[in-house]
Structure 1
Amino acid sequence: MLTISSLFIYPIKSLGGISLTSSQITSRGLLYDRRWMLINDDNKFISQREYPQMALCKTELVPDGIKVVFKHNDDILIPFDAPAIGRAEVTIWDDTCTADIVCLEAAEWFSKVLGVNCRLVYMPEDSRRPVDPEYAPDDKINSFSDGYPCLLIGEASLTDLSERCGEIILMDRFRPNIVFTGGAPYAEDEMAHFKINNIDFYGVKICARCPIPGIDQETAARTKEPLKTLARYRKKNNKIYMGQNLIHTGEGTLNIGDVLHILSTKPATVFNEEVGEVR
């Protein structure tokens, strides 16, 4: 039996995540997940790819908003109801969408602790960012995540990776939303359609990984692992893969312990051999 073992949200894109025991799922993914984002002077998102020190900004849900703590001492509160002080067309990869500029105090705080000039934006309800139509219906929307509303990874996959690396790799390197226990390593690769609490989930695309899994989320240090090991057996067309991107139909609540009911599967992707070319 496959069951949810962890739930995570990342309210401000590329900052630290929050572990939850339960979460509401909305049309854009888990509630509050990546609804805020930091942008540069060109209105483009910034992330740990360029600024690994963003990993040192830890987030926490508090009654009035999102509390952010930098290096365990300096902190700021981002109110849920912070009024917009302007609007901007912001860019996430190849997408452009409308966002509210919020909280001048936060812009000053993040610019100071990260050492890069930036502003904080929020995705309002009237902003619609479609999921890539090549992999999802036109009516599916996203938050500020890289491409899809949710990311799924199995605990068995991480255990297998850690054994191959010869060291313990933490799940926070991969920034999933839903983690499940049970099943074989990389079982998520083959999940085409499953239900949790009568919410339909569809595995639409295995996740190509950027350099962020190579950043220690506690120290912000760049490391060779786990990407070096993943590249030996999870690489195809010069991309490294881990996790399954999801879209969903329906809204409701997900809880630790909820069962994943698998309704259909798809063929597993064939990757490189340990040594050799893609078959």
Structure 2
Amino acid sequence: MTAQAQPRVALVTGAGQGIGRAIALRLAADGLDVAINDVASKAGALKDLAAEIEATGSRTATVTADVSQPAEVDSMVGQVGEQLGKLDVMVANAGIAHVKPLLEVTPEEFDQLMSINLRGVHLCYNAAARRMIEQGTGGKIIGACSIVGYRPFPLLGPYSASKWAVRGLTQAAAMEWSQHGITVNAYCPGIVGTAMWDQIDEKLAENEGLRKGQAIEKYSEMIQLGRVSVPEDVAKFVSYLASPDSDYMTGQSVMIDGGVQFS
């Protein structure tokens, strides 16, 4: 009688809400053990999510950390290895958005956004790659890009720039780490019904003289499939990127947006 293989282990950052939460639940449903991360203020949400993951029969670990801080990211990956035994899939999902005209963006706001959306992805990619190379079994590294990584939205200048940079970082990492059996890809959501898009809608409406809700309605008219995305739409695609079905795919940042942007 052969021993049963240990389930693969994934780590999802920014899992306290929205797309990250949906990704964690989908990977657990796929049979992976799933470690979840967010900042300390989301500890309650992580506790609730951990209970849902365990209800699927998967193991979980909860790690609070700021992805912009190198020591915290290294500690996070180390804790996942200690608690769940290994790391096979890294989903660098954590991100923030500022919605304002470029002329009003302060250097401090620019640096804060880049520290999470770009440096945070870079740190998570690197920490995961080091662990996977040490394990010697390859792995999947997946990052959060966006449709604005191909074509910016007005009032989302620094956010758009951060996502363009994630696309380039993903390509470079794919080139460097393929020799270790590691694939690196990213997902590019469009207009998604999340707290982040509620904030974007509110600020866009203010700047365009619209009522709350009108801005997202306006931009939703670009969606060919006729509806705003839900987090589960994105999670389904990340499920593919995390699975063996995508083993021959690397260096790609793929739009999952219902047909807003065409590359």
Shorter chain as denominator, the TM-score bin is 0.3 to 0.5
Larger helix fraction of residues = 2
Larger strand fraction of residues = 1
